[in-house]
Amino acid sequence: MSQLGAAHFLSLPRPDIFIGPPVGVPDTTTLAAHDFDVDTRTGFMPPQMPLRRLSADWEQWELTLEDAISSRLQLGDRSFIEEVDKEKSRSWRDRVRELPILSIEGLKSSETTLRRAHLVLAWIMHFYVHSLPVSEPVRIPPSITLPLLQVSAQLQLPPVLTYSDDVLYNWFLESSQVDELPTETTIKCQTSFTSTNDEAEFYLTSARMELAGVDALELMRSTMDEAFVGDDIAIRRITDYLCQLVDVIHRLRAMLLDVKKGCDPQVFYHDVRPWFRGEDSQSGRKWVFEGIEQDPTLAEPTELSGPSAGQSSLIHALDIFLGVDQYSHERSLTGHTVDEAQATTAAQKSAFLERMQLYMPRHHRTFLNHLSNNPRPLRALVFDAATSPESSKGGTSVLEAYNAAVMALKEFRDAHMIIVALYIIAPARLYEAEVKSRSSVTQPPTRPGSESEYVTEKHSDNEPLKGTGGTDLVRFLKGVRDQTKGALMTL
């Protein structure tokens, strides 16, 4: 497949934009009409391989990231770190501090270059923050603060690792396949913190699901086309599309459960996941962005949650299309505990899933806005057909098919709860029990666990387990799952 054409909207230079358009209004400065960067063959994943390296002007960033990966930097809050590892990570951080502040002017010439810059800088920042010893304050050096915040402003993304950095734009194809479209079997993982197969499989599971989601997007499009016609034949076709959608959601559920085949829960919980943490899952440890005052156009970041598949546009699209978002994106589902919710700002209090849309590539956010503003929403259409006195409209069948699709999404969330129990809740409990039993005989735990993780993740009566998005995860995920079921329609 050839590279993006010079006239493609992603290849065009971007004007300086620091504030996005109002909610619901397409960003016409960069967006060709109806081009939401959603591909009919690859969905929210780009059809072309993401850029693998920035050009020579930004080589120092690429080398710094490579250095962190190849040095196998350790998490700074581990209870037992060898002196040699401490020194290795200290000297890497010193080198980051000494980096020059590189201009991002030349990066603005294309969207794909800006994406790569966001990925590299966000990855460096997470290595920097999480390799710090817990006793040290989190002060991100100007060499990272300034370009990361500037690139993020261009992309209208928060200056933190997002789902697009670790899933959507974090894959490559073997050189013999670079001209082909990415597929579930050919994509490989580009960047990881630990260089383990477990971490790669964690990202690739989501990436494969995004590719499989193309079938769902196609069914949504066909349904919306038929909804505009709205006659008996259209209702029958929509019934059929909804039945097909049930199969696609079941497939996504099976793919999610397949994460177990390649990613070990203990490795995920202890070695991989701690690198993702954002500011809000760090027990009040503030992230200070040094040097921000050097660029008056920059504002203090307010969104610093870690990457979560809660940022997957595919799952949001399913929610919105089925009208489940009125339930699952309910304002009470902030992801915070009651106490935290009272202490947080209005912005933090908005529904977690609504907030996660701020972490999506802005064209995808616009796509979701358009989907939400569909003048002929599916739920209303199903309700009208089911309550129509003319039985020929196939109302009962379309209602059954609609409910089956909602149920499939609820079952997807049931499976997600199983995964969360396996990958977070069980390892947290196991580790806590081990710490308790060993502390009674004054022995360290066998795993090189992280003390602060234990503190933030402990599930004592008054302190719940936290998600990477900073949520009180059990309460939140159960809430979303139960609200999804609430969307089932009974007459």
**Residues that bind ligand HEM in the complex, under the rule CB under 6 A:** 202, 205-206, 209, 256, 259, 268, 308-310, 312, 315, 353, 413, 416, 419-420, 423-424, 467-471, 473, 476-477, 480
Name the minimum Å distance from CB 258 to ligand HEM.
9
Q: Which is closer to ligand HEM, CB of 62 or CB of 330?
A: 330
Q: Which is closer to ligand HEM, CB of 92 or CB of 202?
A: 202
Name the minimum Å distance from CB 448 to ligand HEM.
20
Name the minimum Å distance from CB 26 to ligand HEM.
24
Going by C-alpha positions, the residue among 185, 172, 240 that lies closest to residue 211 is 185
Q: Which is closer to ligand HEM, CB of 26 or CB of 469?
A: 469
Q: Which is closer to ligand HEM, CB of 34 or CB of 261?
A: 261
Residue pair 452/283 in contact by the 8 Å Cβ criterion: yes
Residue pair 289/300 in contact by the 8 Å Cβ criterion: yes
Structure tokens at 402: 């609609």
Q: Which is closer to ligand HEM, CB of 120 or CB of 309?
A: 309
Q: Which is closer to ligand HEM, CB of 129 or CB of 317?
A: 317
Q: Which is closer to ligand HEM, CB of 341 or CB of 420?
A: 420
Q: How far apart are CA 142 and CA 380, in angstroms?
A: 52
Name the minimum Å distance from CB 414 to ligand HEM.
10
Q: Which is closer to ligand HEM, CB of 187 or CB of 235?
A: 187
Name the minimum Å distance from CB 466 to ligand HEM.
7
Q: Which is closer to ligand HEM, CB of 37 or CB of 325?
A: 325
Going by C-alpha positions, the residue among 42, 23, 17, 6 that lies closest to residue 355 is 23
Q: What per-residue string of b and e applies to 436-468 under the rule 16 or more CB within 10 Å gives b?
A: eeeeeeeeebebebbebbbebbbbeeeebbbbb
Q: Which is closer to ligand HEM, CB of 226 or CB of 280?
A: 280
Name the minimum Å distance from CB 166 to ligand HEM.
11
Q: Which is closer to ligand HEM, CB of 164 or CB of 206?
A: 206
Per residue, the 3-state secondary structure of the chain, as one string, reads CCCCCCCCCCCCCCCCCCCCCCCCCCCCCCCCCCCCCCECCCECCCCCCCCCCCCHHHHHHHHHHHHHHHCCCCCCCECCCCHHHHHHHHHHHHHHHHCCCCCCHHHHHCHHHHHHHHHHHHHHHHHHHHHCCCCCCEEECHHHHHHHHHHHHHHCCCCCCCHHHHHHCCEECCHHHCCCCCCCCCCEECCCCCCCHHHHHHHHHHHHHHHHCHHHHHHHHHHHHHHHHCCHHHHHHHHHHHHHHHHHHHHHHHHHHCHHHHCCHHHHHHHHHHHHCCHHHCCCCCEEECCHHHCCCCCCCCCCCCCCHHHCHHHHHHHHHHCCHHHHCCCCCCCCCHHHHHHCCHHHHCCHHHHHHHHCCHHHHHHHHHHHCCCCCHHHHHHHHHHCCCHHHCHHHHHHHHHHHHHHHHHHHHHHHHHHHHHHHHHHHHHHHHHHHHHHCCCCCCCCCEHHHHHHHCCCCCCCCECCCCCEHHHHHHHHHHHHHCCCCCC
Residue pair 423/268 in contact by the 8 Å Cβ criterion: yes
Name the minimum Å distance from CB 262 to ligand HEM.
10
Name the minimum Å distance from CB 307 to ligand HEM.
8
Name the minimum Å distance from CB 206 to ligand HEM.
4
Q: Which is closer to ligand HEM, CB of 211 or CB of 315?
A: 315
Name the minimum Å distance from CB 245 to ligand HEM.
16
Q: Of all residues in this chain, which one has the CB nearest to ligand HEM in the complex?
A: 467
